[in-house]
Chains A and B, each alone.
Chain A
Amino acid sequence: MTLAAVVAAAMFAGVIVYALFAGADFGSGFYDLTAGGAQRGAAVRVLIDHSIGPVWEANHVWLIYILVMWWTGFPTSFAAVMTTLFIPLILALTGIVLRGASFAFRKYAATMAQARLFGAVFAGSSLITPFFMGAVAGAIASGRVPAEGYGDRIGSWVNPTSMVGGCLAVATSVFLAGVFLCADAARSGNVSLADVLRRRTLAVGIVAGATVFAGLYPIYHDAPVLAKGLLGRASPLLVVAAVAGSAAVMLVHRRRFSLARVFAALAVGTVVTGWGVAQYPWLLVEEVTISDAAGAPATLAGLLVVVALAVVLVLPALSYLLWLTQTEEWTRDVNG
């Protein structure tokens, strides 16, 4: 494996983790949006506050990690994507800004009217971001970003593969969020809340699974390189995704939420990995390979130092945070 491939793999690991963890944070916006009025929806919204409050900022930083690895390791391809996909990126960014700000504002809002406004912005913007991120992924994977940048600014992301990518990102995010929220509700002892979320999660899970596999059809016609990889080299991953996804839905059905999280994450993780494996060795499909896009070797070596530091410093701290949120002290409802 070349230095460039190692850095690309480390960057793509960030994409997978971002899709899983930040995806779940974004996906919770769906349940917030559909929770009902102030009275009926209160329990779901408090659970969402409690569930994503301590972790969303840390999960968000994976995006920063991806961006800095990309522009440092593969600078010209970064510029090409940024100039071509200006519009969906700006829209995803708007979602990020509105989601983060209004989530923090809502928690400390003084009145119900304010909380309703911030809550609507939070929930709505939560779904915008994964859609446009998925559309960006679809544009790259279907070979619509020219190496020199400034590609078709509309057609690059308004196309079958981008739409599949966008819908898939939303569906998997919402499914993950549902499973995580069910587990959190059950762990805090709120059985009725877990049941409400369980029904929605089951429905979403079936839609998400259908989206993934139905999406293969438009991809087959629209993005031949990606389709060849998905049905060839990456096909074992898709099988794993299908099995793990079905298992996750079954486990949610049987109220084994904690275990269901593992399978849900495995399912979504393998779908995202499948995309990466399918388009390897292209960084921008049919335009630039990973090794052609790579920046200076000294910089790539420097990025390995960054990755090593991330493993040594960030992962233990992140594990500590995630572990804390699962402990009984943190599950207990203490204001703070």
Chain B
Amino acid sequence: MVLTEVVTVLAVSGEPPGLLPARQQMAFSLGWHIILACFGVAFPAIIFVVHRRGIVHDDPVALTLAKRWAKVSAVLFAIGAVSGTVLSFEMGLLWPGLMGPFGDVLGLPFAFEGLSFFVEAIFLGIYLYGWNRMPPRRHLAMLVPMAVAGIVGTFCVVSVNAWMNHPAGFTIRNGEVTDVNPWAAMFNEGAVLQFLHMWIAAFMVVGLTVSGVYAAGLLRGRVDAHHRLGFRVPFTFATVAAVVQPFVGHLLGMRIHDTQPAKLAAFELAETTESPAPLRLGGVLIDGEVRWALAIPRLGSIIARNSWDAPVPGLDTVPRDEWPPVNITHLAFQSMVLIGTTLAAFTIVYWLARWRGWDLMSNRTFLRAAVVSGPLAIVAVECGWIATEVGRQPWTVWQVLLTEDAATMSDGVWWSFGGILVVYVGMTVGAYVVLRSMARRWRSGQEELPSPYGPPRSVRQQPGSTESARP
């Protein structure tokens, strides 16, 4: 009963009752899954490098890293797979107003994503259980389809989001969706750049998170070849990604001026159209006035338009009822940019120092920063998704479908959101406990991590006896 009252208070009159909880549930489950998705996309390539080094250069340190990372990915990919399934269900459970009319417009990339998920799951199974059961090089090769599937899968999923920003492949005639061309929808004008942005972000997240784990070990005095390699390989991936990312982000930002001016105005906290436009660092919009922002002249035009004095459209060009929540969009966007730029600079510092002969792997301040960089990259990804999704509101499909028309009319969504919250908190705790215990046992010298309920090794069946029971 209390719940019903809360819903009544929270829901603005006229909104479908499912709108607010559907938004919250989608944001929460997507924000949770995207971290695991990053691992699914980027981890196979990083494991490939250490595994290959272990085999080709006969390097036991690298091989140990590959084996351990494979076990970690067994845990991460499992919860990634199930939390991705949650999103599939939620497309229909929470957004029937999107999937009903537009399912055949936007669905095709999801179908291709399904195929790449298939490929990834199949080769993951082979890779995880293939240790000591396959010729080493063929076993190593199993990572390649996983990495390729990660690329295809990222493109497909992000292409649907890009379609929501750049609707294509259909016309609406008398309220009916017609002239459907799913290929035009899939390869909409925003797809490639948005895909690159997310794919690179995945390598930043995984590279910095994994190297941060080994930086923490180095900080605790575990200075050995294992930790140094465990830091260096993922950090190298992260560096390339972090350096390329600002350029991709800039290209994307310039596109927004043409495609979604309201989102750009919110990003830039632009109340009125200005030329040249300043860059407003921080700040919030209160009662139509920008407060506490640090304005840097001309920089807004340079960043958003690649020009000294091109105008940046303000919110005054957007009807008031089509404004996105400006402050959330602005602050999330700038946090992403700030963190991304800092991370790019941070990774460059390491390689510059190395070039000048300083090994920052023995510098405690650097290592502390390296530990923090992984979580920061995750925050940047979350901020990026908040910025692009909240910035597109009130639209689910830009200027085609309002979010309140996409959301379910069902009033039980608070219950499912509550359930999802409980299950996900449990899953987070479970993953944390298990991963920590794996690391602890590895440090204490156990390598294989047999399950605690398994019978003692000596009691288990020997290979020689396998033939006897064959029919």
Q: B90-127 vs A: 1/0 string, CB under 8 Å? A: 01110011011111110110111111011101111110
The majority secondary structure among interface residues of chain B is: helix
Query: Does chain B have a CB within 8 A of A114?
Result: yes
Provide the bound-state CA to CA distance between A65 and B181, in Å.
Answer: 21
Are the C-beta atoms of A82 and B108 separated by less than 8 Å?
no
Query: Does chain A have a CB within 8 A of B292?
Result: no
A335 nearest in chain B by CB position: B448
Q: For B102, what are the chain A residues with a Cβ–Cβ distance below 8 Å?
A: 75
With beta carbons under 8 angstroms apart, the residue of B96, B133, B180, B450 that contacts A330 is B133
With beta carbons under 8 angstroms apart, the residue of B84, B453, B470 that contacts A42 is B453
A107 nearest in chain B by CB position: B451
A188 nearest in chain B by CB position: B461
Query: Does chain A have a CB within 8 A of B423?
Result: yes
Provide the bound-state CA to CA distance between A67 and B111, in Å.
Answer: 9
Q: For A194, what are the chain B residues with a Cβ–Cβ distance below 8 Å?
A: 469
Provide the bound-state CA to CA distance between A257 and B190, in Å.
Answer: 54
Provide the bound-state CA to CA distance between A314 and B89, in Å.
Answer: 23
Q: A101-B79, A104-B74, A299-B182 are in contact. Are A119 and B453 (CB under 8 A)?
A: yes
Are the C-beta atoms of B465 and A115 separated by less than 8 Å?
no
A38 nearest in chain B by CB position: B453
Provide the bound-state CA to CA distance between A300 and B390, in Å.
Answer: 32
Query: Does chain A have a CB within 8 A of B408?
Result: yes
The majority secondary structure among interface residues of chain A is: helix
Q: A57-B124, A112-B452, A114-B433 are in contact. Are A334 and B132 (CB under 8 A)?
A: yes
Query: Does chain B have a CB within 8 A of A54?
Result: yes
Provide the bound-state CA to CA distance between A68 and B97, in Å.
Answer: 16
Provide the bound-state CA to CA distance between A317 and B141, in Å.
Answer: 13
With beta carbons under 8 angstroms apart, the residue of B93, B107, B451, B471 that contacts A72 is B107
Are the C-beta atoms of A328 and B440 separated by less than 8 Å?
no
Q: A86-B416, A87-B412, A89-B93 are in contact. Are A72 and B74 (CB under 8 A)?
A: no
Q: For B409, what are the chain A residues with a Cβ–Cβ distance below 8 Å?
A: 83, 150
Are the C-beta atoms of B430 and A255 separated by less than 8 Å?
no
A310 nearest in chain B by CB position: B115
Provide the bound-state CA to CA distance between A329 and B145, in Å.
Answer: 22
Are the C-beta atoms of A314 and B119 separated by less than 8 Å?
yes
Are the C-beta atoms of B430 and A82 separated by less than 8 Å?
no
Q: A42-B453, A299-B104 are in contact. Are A314 and B412 (CB under 8 A)?
A: no
Provide the bound-state CA to CA distance between A65 and B462, in Å.
Answer: 39
Distance in angstroms from B110 CB to nearest chain A CB is 5
Contact residues on B (Cβ < 8 Å of other chain), bracket: 35 or more
Provide the bound-state CA to CA distance between A40 and B88, in Å.
Answer: 39
Q: For A42, what are the chain B residues with a Cβ–Cβ distance below 8 Å?
A: 453-455
Query: Does chain A have a CB within 8 A of B437?
Result: yes
Query: Does chain A have a CB within 8 A of B320?
Result: no
Query: Does chain B have a CB within 8 A of A186?
Result: yes
Distance in angstroms from A139 CB to nearest chain B CB is 15
Are the C-beta atoms of B440 and A336 separated by less than 8 Å?
no
Q: For B181, what are the chain A residues with a Cβ–Cβ distance below 8 Å?
A: 298
Query: Does chain B have a CB within 8 A of A189?
Result: yes
| Pair count A-B, CB < 8 A | 309
Provide the bound-state CA to CA distance between A100 and B81, in Å.
Answer: 8
Q: For B455, what are the chain A residues with a Cβ–Cβ distance below 8 Å?
A: 42-43, 46
Query: Does chain A have a CB within 8 A of B441?
Result: yes
Query: Does chain A have a CB within 8 A of B273?
Result: no
Provide the bound-state CA to CA distance between A190 and B126, in Å.
Answer: 24
With beta carbons under 8 angstroms apart, the residue of A67, A104, A306 that contacts B89 is A67
Query: Does chain B have a CB within 8 A of A332?
Result: yes
Q: For A43, what are the chain B residues with a Cβ–Cβ distance below 8 Å?
A: 455
Provide the bound-state CA to CA distance between A325 and B122, in Å.
Answer: 12
Q: A106-147 vs B: 1/0 string, CB under 8 Å? A: 111111101110110000000000000000000000000000
Are the C-beta atoms of B454 and A295 separated by less than 8 Å?
no
Are the C-beta atoms of A94 and B119 separated by less than 8 Å?
no
What would 13 more interface pairs be, CB under 8 Å, given A97-B83, A187-B466, A190-B461? A42-B455, A74-B103, A76-B101, A82-B99, A89-B93, A101-B431, A104-B79, A110-B440, A119-B453, A189-B469, A296-B180, A302-B182, A306-B114
Interfacial residues, chain A to chain B (CB-CB below 8 A)? 38, 41-43, 45-46, 49, 53-55, 57-58, 60-61, 63-65, 67-69, 71-76, 78-83, 86-87, 89-90, 93-94, 96-112, 114-116, 118-119, 149-150, 153, 186-191, 194, 255-259, 295-296, 298-300, 302-303, 306, 309-310, 313-314, 317-318, 320-321, 324-325, 328-336
27 pairs across A/B with beta carbons < 8 Å? A46-B460, A57-B121, A64-B88, A71-B92, A75-B99, A75-B102, A82-B96, A83-B93, A100-B78, A100-B82, A101-B78, A114-B434, A187-B466, A188-B461, A190-B461, A191-B469, A295-B180, A296-B182, A298-B180, A302-B182, A306-B108, A309-B112, A309-B115, A314-B119, A318-B122, A335-B449, A336-B133
